[in-house]
Chains A and B, each alone.
Chain A
Amino acid sequence: GAVVSQHPSRVICKSGTSVKIECRSLDFQATTMFWYRQFPKQSLMLMATSNEGSKATYEQGVEKDKFLINHASLTLSTLTVTSAHPEDSSFYICSASDRGFAYEQYFGPGTRLTVT
């Protein structure tokens, strides 16, 4: 149980375009979903926390207009990187929690974004 999927696993896009990443909880209802970014050989940095049906809470320094997060249902959250630039190239990981506790997060396999 507690499986989280992400789609796509890899995406390459041109600079200036937008790309959407999906995060799904497959066998549980995720009241809270988290989005992380990880640069090569670095740790995970939390970008934002989203609760189903409400606006996401962004971490300091993360541009909410650039990284649009939608948590429209209890099993799906999306991250849209708008007007992507090469510096947005990174590994994006989502996680989901069914009880909203930070320590009970189930992680997705990640999405590798490359902006050319």
Chain B
Amino acid sequence: SQQGEEDPQALSIQEGENATMNCSYKTSINNLQWYRQNSGRGLVHLILIRSNEREKHSGRLRVTLDTSKKSSSLLITASRAADTASYFCATDAIQGAQKLVFGQGTRLTINP
């Protein structure tokens, strides 16, 4: 079952602006990851944040994790047209089977 909820479901902004996407989950996790998917393509791994981390940066990406609220956010700064894609969070739970559970995703459109 999908435990991740993401909002917004769709986001459209102008090139150069910042884009923020949020993800919430239900169970206690080991890690949370963010992936990008271009239309009709496979997944590209963006960043992993561990449950004992609160913030992580990678280039123009900034990820935060609040385990008390069971939520994470992905910030893309200075967006580019090439950032247009769907973004998914995925979690692996502390207990239970070794598997990833994906959020519903945010479709991001960067307008030139």
Contacts and interface: CB of A to CB of B under 8 A. Distances in A.
B contact residues, range:
20 to 34
Interface string A44-75: 11100100000001001000000000000000
A57 B104 contact: no
B102 A43 contact: yes
Given A41-B107, A43-B88, A45-B2, A102 B43 contact: no
A105 B48 CA distance: 12
B33 A44 contact: no
B104 A32 contact: no
Contacts of B35: 107
B43 A93 contact: yes
Contact of B43 (A45, A49, A107): A107
Interface of B: 1-2, 4, 30-31, 33, 35, 40-43, 45, 48, 88, 92, 97-105, 107
11 contacts: A32-B98, A42-B104, A42-B105, A43-B103, A46-B99, A46-B100, A60-B1, A91-B40, A100-B98, A101-B98, A103-B48
The list of the 7 closest CB pairs from A to B, nearest first, reads: A102-B92, A109-B42, A102-B98, A107-B43, A103-B31, A44-B102, A43-B102
